[in-house]
Structure 1
Amino acid sequence: MSKQKRQSKLSFFALDPNCDKYINWAVALLLLVGTFTIISTNVGKTTSAPNIVPKVLIKQCMFAVCGYIAMWFMNRWFRFKWYARIEKVIIPICLVIMGTTFAFPEIGGSRAWILIGGISLQPSEFAKPLIMIICATCLYRAKKETDMLKVRGQLFMRAWISFALMFGIVFAQKDMGTLVIICFIFLSCIMIPKYVVLQRMQKVLKVLVYGAIAVAIVLFGITNIGTEIIKHTPLAHIAVRVENFKDPYTDVYGDGYQPANSLYGIASSDIHGKGIGNSTRKYGYLTQADNDYILAVLLEETGIFGLFGLVILYGMIEIRLFYYAFKTSEDMYKVILGGTGVYLFMHFFLNAGGVACLIPFTGVPLLFISSGGTSLMSIMLTMGLAQNCICAIRRREMDRLS
């Protein structure tokens, strides 16, 4: 086989050359950090499962490969043109798959997982990139059907209907962390376009969002009114998490066991940490050390330097996403890039805040770091979509300059 043919085959499986290299490097480094941390956390299980480390390594590598394929596909092949044609089929299929979780047992207070042969899938994770694509596709259609920009409520009608159905399913699943993230992604997507027909709705939404945040702070933060109310509802597990956020040490050997040990691990890390692989909390103290509480183990081993490194890598991705979002005049690209930025930020905010007991714990994974194939597939797919938009923006810029 000639060198030219080999290079063409390799380039076929590579991301588009116009991708933002800073984002690619940040994603690769985060995946590397996540893989090492997951292996480190599972060392604590070797006493009961001697072969756990190689199994976890193989599993994580498979997730990474599948994630890369999802990212590559969205970067190389996704087009709003063909998606718009099949959207009426895609949305119902996704909603039905999300609804099938009710046929499976509850995990951690939520019915958000599909369990098949020891493998768990969380379909609602894919609702996050899907709602972005739906909103962007509404703007894509509006370029051809200009009447959508003249009638109030017409532009994002399909997006609102899809969001309402997703909201209902995820709320019924009692997965409040995922619900909050989907809400913020959707709100950011419909707040970005600056059309006259949207201005009234956007003003009303701003008031509602700020009002809801203020009421939540009063009911759950300043007072215990909200906590006492939901104790007597099917969402009683949320009341427990709110109480643990306020004082995780009231029930250290009960419901406060995980958050208390998370704080013990972080507090014992010092500035430089205990060293990679030297966490003590992963030895049975944190039962979800490789998933929801993986940040506590990472900080215990690497200290403030590990947190600083994570912030730099996440910050690099955020800066580059919003750089291109402000640079382009194409609203559908702005929606995808801005929505991706909110998606990434909300996961970090909810996970880090919950692990440090600064906010109630939601069970949201730390993207690229926590174990879990569904969340990794979803964010990699989203990053591929964002890179797809970045490539289109850079090509247009090169065409304009040529």
Structure 2
Amino acid sequence: MKKTNFTTNKQSFLERIHIDGFLLLSLLCLMFIGLLTIYSSGGQDWDLVQRQLLRLGVGITIMIGLAQLPILVYQRVSIYFYIVGILMLLGVLFFGVVGKGAQRWLDLGVLRFQPSEIMKLAMPMMIAWFISRNSIPASVRDIFVGFVLVFIPTILIAKQPDLGTSLLVSASGIFVLFLSGMRWRIISLIGLLGGLFAPIMWFFLMKDYQKQRVITFLDPESDPLGSGYHIIQSKIAIGSGGVDGKGWLQGTQSQLEFLPERHTDFIFSVYSEEFGLIGIIGLLVMYMCIIMRGLYIANRAQNNFSKLLAGSITLTFFVYVFVNMGMVSGLLPVVGVPLPLISYGGTSMVTLMAGFGILMAISTQKRLLSR
């Protein structure tokens, strides 16, 4: 009897602070796996783990803070958030700081950041606000305007150049349009236009190194010691893990430093080598739990804005997972997308946690209003 009362009190506490318990537990499990893998892939460097712990702490704090805000607040600030993001992207275009051959950062003296990360949230919020003003399914006019709103920041980010982020930002907006009831005729037309746009993107927007990534994806063995080295070593690591893996800290590709970018973009290769097929299935199950929970929250949301926004945040998270696992296993070109909550890094992870904060606000508000 006491155990039942404790459980009820615990659930009430989580609801009072607007936290979805199932989603939080799933996220914490992924974070723990990420810390274990970072420790192994980073040469057993405890300082690396401590820095990641600090970033995770910041991300969790932001998530909890954003979960406290009513959905009406997000709805009202969407257009302003989007406009500020566009202005910042224009600022990057004209005054941005160049680093590693790309112009992606704004330096404000005390703060240096990537405005493209802001658009990962501003984009779905803006499109969800725009579409939800009218009835769903969305009209052809609204869908056309929605695609224009998606196209503007996508091009600005692609010119930095940052192909991976531009794809994620555009996907977050397109998911909203898809969830708004877009007809299959329109989807087919968009697919056709996308195919026609591909040559323009290849000849006028993509840089030489991005073109080389596509060529390497098609035939990595053509340059095994150059551009194809990353993906070849990655596939060796994944395949050598076998069914049950080599064991934690026992992966030869990572410990002997054959695998580049092993604690960031290619961390899935390290995990696969050490934990094998069984570990991969377990990781996929955890990701699937988060995705299904997010879609469940979207389905139960109280209004169209919440439904569209929650659905877009969840499906964009799926794109993160799909693209990273696809690129390290040779199924997709390398575009520099980290494995969410596993890869070492701060900016992208904080953006993801902010998205989950909004998702929790939608989830708990629905439950509290239903009482």
Cα distance, 1:125 vs structure 2? 2.3
Structure 2 partner of 1:49? none
Structure 2 partner of 1:93? 84
In structure 2, give the amino acid aligned to 1:249.
Answer: E
Structure 1 partner of 2:219? 247
| Distance in 2, Cα, partners of 1:164 & 1:342 | 19
| Distance in 2, Cα, partners of 1:314 & 1:235 | 33
Q: Counterpart of 2:334 in 1: which secondary structure? A: coil
Cα distance, 1:176 vs structure 2? 1.6
Structure 2 partner of 1:321? 294
CA distance 1:369–1:120, shift in 2 (3 Å): farther
Is 1:305 the counterpart of 2:285? The answer is no
Cα distance, 1:236 vs structure 2? 2.0
CA distance 1:232–1:152, shift in 2 (3 Å): closer
Structure 2 partner of 1:179? 166
Residues 267-282 of structure 1: pairs in structure 2 closer than 5 A: 267-282=239-254
Unpaired runs of 5+ in structure 2?
1-9
Is 1:211 the counterpart of 2:192? The answer is yes
Q: How many residues are paired up?
A: 359
Cα distance, 1:395 vs structure 2? 2.3
User: Does the 8 Å CA contact 2:63/2:357 hold for their aligned counterparts?
Assistant: yes
Q: Counterpart of 2:53 in 1: which secondary structure? A: helix
| Distance in 2, Cα, partners of 1:150 & 1:290 | 43
CA distance 1:305–1:181, shift in 2 (3 Å): same
User: Does the 8 Å CA contact 1:78/1:385 hold for their aligned counterparts?
Assistant: no
Residues 11-22 of structure 1: pairs in structure 2 closer than 5 A: 16=16, 19-22=19-22
| Distance in 1, Cα, partners of 2:280 & 2:124 | 29
In structure 2, give the amino acid aligned to 1:206.
Answer: I
Q: Counterpart of 2:227 in 1: which secondary structure? A: coil
Give deviations 1:23-75, integer Å, cap 9, x for gaps: 1111111111111211211117xxxxxxxx23212211111111011111111
In structure 2, give the amino acid aligned to 1:169.
Answer: L
User: Does the 8 Å CA contact 2:137/2:180 hold for their aligned counterparts?
Assistant: no
User: Does the 8 Å CA contact 1:18/1:394 hold for their aligned counterparts?
Assistant: no
Which among 46, 63, 74 is matched to residue 71 of structure 1?
A: 63
| Distance in 1, Cα, partners of 2:16 & 2:190 | 38
Residues 2-401 of structure 1: pairs in structure 2 closer than 5 A: 16=16, 19-43=19-43, 53-80=45-72, 82-87=73-78, 89-102=80-93, 103-107=96-100, 110-113=102-105, 121-138=113-130, 141-142=133-134, 153=141, 157=145, 162-194=149-181, 202-203=183-184, 205-211=186-192, 230=202, 234-282=206-254, 283-328=256-301, 330-398=303-371
Q: Counterpart of 1:111 in 2: which secondary structure? A: strand
| Distance in 1, Cα, partners of 2:279 & 2:324 | 15
TM-score (norm 2): 0.84
Unpaired runs of 5+ in structure 1?
1-9, 45-52, 220-225
| Distance in 2, Cα, partners of 1:340 & 1:188 | 9
In structure 2, give the amino acid aligned to 1:297.
Answer: V
| Distance in 2, Cα, partners of 1:101 & 1:370 | 26
Give deviations 1:339-397, integer Å, cap 9, x for gaps: 02211111111111100001111111111111111111111000111111111222233
User: Does the 8 Å CA contact 2:105/2:113 hold for their aligned counterparts?
Assistant: yes
CA distance 1:231–1:260, shift in 2 (3 Å): farther
CA distance 1:284–1:355, shift in 2 (3 Å): same
Cα distance, 1:95 vs structure 2? 2.5
Q: Counterpart of 1:94 in 2: which secondary structure? A: helix
User: Does the 8 Å CA contact 2:35/2:52 hold for their aligned counterparts?
Assistant: yes
Q: Report percent identity of matched pairs.
A: 23
Superposed CA RMSD: 3.4
